[in-house]
C-alpha cells in the first residue's frame, strides 16, 4: 500500500502509527485538517482482514470528521483513530487503552479522541486517566455520556427537513421510514421516530435488536437482503459505511435517503446516481453530526441544553443543502462539500493553541 498516495487522495494531513508490544496495541491516528481547531474524532476498535483496510478506514473517516465539524460550526478539525483488535481473545483491554491514551497524549493536543464502533464509555474513562484529550466520558466523571441519542436526534431533525422539502409535510406522522441497523444510534432513531408517529421498518444483522425494535416501537421486521427493496418514504442507513453502492442504489424505492451511518456512498458517483434518479440524499456528515456536537461541548464546558439546541439546527443545514441542490441542479453531496471547502479555504493556517 502506498500510504502517501492515499494521503494525497484524501488531501492529508498527518497519519501517526503506534505499536506497543506489551499490550498488543496497533493504533492508527489520522489527522486530516486542523485549521478550525484540534482534530476531534472517535476511536474504532475492530478486527481487520488487512492492515491496509484499517489505514483506509482511518483516512476516510477522519476526512469525514473535518467536513462534519465544519458544516456543524464546531471549532475542530477532523481526526480518527483505528485500533486493530488483537487476534487473540486473551488480552488486557484496560492496559491496551492505557497505552493508546498515552499515544494520544504524546500527540500534544492535536487530536482529541472519543468513542466509536467497538469502544464505549468505559474505554474513554480509562483513556482519561492518562490524557485530557478525550471526550465522551461517563457523566459521573464530568463527561457527556453516550452520544448516540444526540446523533439520533440530529438524524430525526434531518429527516424532518427532507420530508418538509420533498413532501411538504410539517411532521413525520404516518411517514414510513425503513431503518437499516438498529444498534446504538439506530435504536435511538427508532425511538425518536416512534414518538413522532412515523411508521417504521427495521433490519439488523442481530435478530434480537430487530425484535426489540418491533416490541418497543411496533416496527415491522424485514431481512437485511430486503431493506433496500422496501417501498417507503425514507430509507435510513444506520449500519456501517458503503451501504449505497452498485448493488443497492438501483433497488431503492424511497424518495429520501437520510440516515446515521458514516461514508454511506461507496463512491461519489453513487451520489450522482441518486441525484439522477430524483432521490433526495441527506449527506451523512451533515445529518449525523449530533453526536459530535454533543461531545465537542465537553471541551468548552458541557451544557446539555446547549447541545440539544445546536443539534436541532441540523434541520436548517440539511434544508439549506436540499434547497441549494434543487436550485443549482447539483447533487446534494457536492453542495455540502462545496459549503465546507469554501469555509476551509478562508483559513490559511490554524488559529488555535493546544489545551494546556
Contact present, 144 and 136 (Cβ < 8 Å): yes
3-state SS, residue 231: coil
Helical (H) or strand (E) element with 221: strand 220-221
Closest CA to 259 of 242, 276, 278: 242
Q: Which residues are bridge partners to 19 per DSSP?
A: 26
Angle at 288 between CA 285 and CA 290, to 5 degrees: 120
Determine whether the annotation assigns residue 182 to a binding site.
Answer: yes
Q: Which of 80, 85, 306, 313 is catalytic?
A: 80
Question: H or E stretch including 274?
Answer: helix 268-276
In 194-315 the beta strands, taken as DSSP E runs, fall at: 199-203, 220-221, 234-237, 256-257, 280-281
Whether residue 291 is annotated as binding a ligand: the answer is no
Q: Is 118 annotated as a binding residue?
A: no
User: Is 343 an active-site residue?
Assistant: no
Helix or strand holding residue 195 (H, E) = helix 184-196
Those residues with Cβ within 8 angstroms of residue 320's Cβ, 6 or more apart along the chain or in another chain? none
The SS3 call for residue 170 is: coil
- The residue length of the chain stands at 356
* DSSP collapsed to 3 states, 330-356: CCHHHHHHHHHHHHHHCCCCCCCCCCC
**Is position 90 annotated in a ligand binding site?**
no
Task: Tell whether residue 241 is among the known ligand binding residues.
Answer: no
183 annotated binding-site participant = yes
Question: Residues 170, 233, 220, CA angle at the centre, nearest 5°?
Answer: 110
Residue 294: name the closest of 101, 72, 27 by CA.
72
Write out the binding residues: 181-186
Cite the active site residues.
80
- Binding site for NAD(+), residues? 181-186
Amino acid at each position: 500500500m502506498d500510504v502517501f498516495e492515499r494521503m494525497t487522495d484524501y488531501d492529508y494531513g498527518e497519519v501517526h502509527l503506534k505499536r506497543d508490544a506489551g499490550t498488543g496495541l496497533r493504533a492508527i491516528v489520522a489527522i486530516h485538517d486542523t485549521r478550525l481547531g484540534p482534530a476531534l474524532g472517535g476511536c474504532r476498535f475492530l478486527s481487520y482482514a488487512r492492515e491496509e483496510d484499517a489505514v483506509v478506514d482511518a483516512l476516510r473517516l477522519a476526512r469525514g470528521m473535518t467536513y462534519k465539524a465544519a458544516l456543524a460550526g464546531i471549532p475542530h478539525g477532523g481526526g480518527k483513530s483505528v485500533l486493530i483488535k488483537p487476534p487473540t481473545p486473551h488480552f488486557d483491554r484496560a492496559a491496551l487503552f492505557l497505552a493508546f491514551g498515552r499515544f494520544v497524549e504524546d500527540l500534544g493536543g492535536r487530536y482529541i479522541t472519543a468513542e466509536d464502533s467497538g469502544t464505549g464509555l468505559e474505554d474513554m474513562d480509562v483513556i482519561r486517566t492518562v490524557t485530557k484529550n478525550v471526550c465522551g466520558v461517563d457523566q459521573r466523571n464530568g463527561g457527556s455520556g453516550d452520544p448516540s441519542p444526540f446523533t439520533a436526534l440530529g438524524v430525526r431533525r434531518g429527516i424532518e427537513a427532507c420530508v418538509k422539502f420533498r413532501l411538504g409535510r410539517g411532521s413525520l406522522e404516518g411517514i414510513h421510514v425503513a431503518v437499516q441497523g438498529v444498534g446504538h444510534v439506530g435504536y435511538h432513531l427508532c425511538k425518536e421516530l416512534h414518538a413522532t408517529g412515523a411508521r417504521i421498518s427495521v433490519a439488523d444483522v442481530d435478530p434480537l435488536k430487530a425484535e426489540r425494535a418491533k416490541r418497543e416501537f411496533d416496527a415491522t421486521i424485514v431481512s437485511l437482503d430486503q431493506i433496500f427493496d422496501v417501498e417507503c418514504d425514507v430509507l435510513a442507513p444506520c449500519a456501517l459505511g458503503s451501504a449505497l453502492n452498485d448493488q443497492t442504489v438501483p433497488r431503492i424505492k424511497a424518495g429520501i435517503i437520510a440516515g446515521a451511518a458514516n461514508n454511506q456512498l461507496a463512491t461519489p458517483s453513487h451520489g450522482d446516481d441518486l441525484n439522477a434518479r430524483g432521490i433526495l440524499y441527506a449527506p451523512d456528515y451533515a445529518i449525523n453530526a449530533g453526536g459530535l456536537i454533543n461531545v465537542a461541548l465537553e471541551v468548552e464546558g458541557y451544557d446539555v441544553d446547549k447541545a440539544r439546541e445546536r443539534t436541532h439546527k441540523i434541520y436548517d443545514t440539511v434544508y439549506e443543502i436540499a434547497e441549494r441542490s434543487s436550485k443549482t441542479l447539483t447533487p446534494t453531496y457536492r453542495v455540502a462539500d462545496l459549503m465546507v471547502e469554501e469555509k476551509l479555504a478562508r483559513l490559511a493556517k490554524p488559529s488555535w493553541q493546544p489545551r494546556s
